[in-house]
């Protein structure tokens, strides 16, 4: 995954969590183990029940990291997609806005998945040690939710096969 902007300058536990979160997004899978609390909870846009526990949350976030990279990262080389606000962009995952509080962050992202523009937010809550205790992912529009559901199912199946 790629992001176009570094984490915001902030202090305290949220700063620790965001720095490690961005390491994970930049391709360091070990960062996920460092940033998730043992009792982390994930609220997915495609699952009805929250996913609880570090191992399960890690599995889903790893799957997301394989699917949310965007169509611009395809093996075929650089591509160009029309952005809804006008102009072109390569379709890769990127954060476009970050709002940060003492223990919470709202990270708005966009990407292209399966040819569909995806806009969403990652809502992160951290504990006193800077470990993520709650992740909520929200995605729009409806066509994007369908693309996420389909691609996540494929990624989770592949992760399950790799673990065997």
At residue 18 the predicted structure's pLDDT band, cuts being 50, 70 and 90, is: very high
Q: Say how far apart CA 147 and CA 76 lie, in whole Å.
A: 20
The phi, psi pair for 35, rounded to 5°, reads -95, -20
> Residue 15: which of 121, 120, 104 has the closest Cα?
104
What CA–CA distance (Å, rounded) separates 29 from 58? 10
Cα gap 92→126, rounded to integer Å? 27
Per-residue model confidence as pLDDT tens digits over 99-124: 999 999 999 999 888 888 889 999 99
Q: Which CATH number fits domain 12-163: 3.40.50.920, 3.40.50.360, 3.10.450.50, 3.40.50.300?
A: 3.10.450.50
Q: Which of 2-6, 19-23, 135-139 has the lowest mean pLDDT?
A: 2-6
Q: Report the run of H or E that residue 14 belongs to, with start and end.
A: helix 12-25
Give yes or no for residue 130 having a pLDDT over 90: yes
């Amino acid at each position: 995954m790629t992001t176009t902007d570094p984490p915001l300058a902030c202090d305290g536990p949220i700063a620790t969590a965001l720095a490690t979160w961005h390491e994970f997004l930049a391709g360091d899978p070990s960062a996920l183990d460092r940033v998730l609390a043992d009792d982390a909870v994930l609220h997915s846009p495609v699952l009805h029940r929250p996913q609880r526990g570090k191992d399960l949350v890690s599995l889903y976030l790893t799957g997301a990291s394989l699917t949310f990279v965007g169509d611009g990262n395809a093996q075929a080389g650089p591509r160009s997609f029309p952005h809804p606000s006008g102009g072109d962009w390569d379709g890769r995952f990127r954060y476009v806005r970050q709002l940060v509080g003492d223990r919470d962050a709202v990270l708005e992202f966009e990407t292209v998945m399966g040819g569909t523009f995806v806009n969403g937010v990652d809502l992160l809550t951290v504990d006193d040690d800077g470990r993520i205790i709650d992740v909520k992912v929200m995605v729009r529009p409806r066509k994007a939710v369908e693309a996420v559901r389909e691609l996540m199912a494929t990624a989770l199946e592949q992760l399950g096969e790799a673990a065997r």
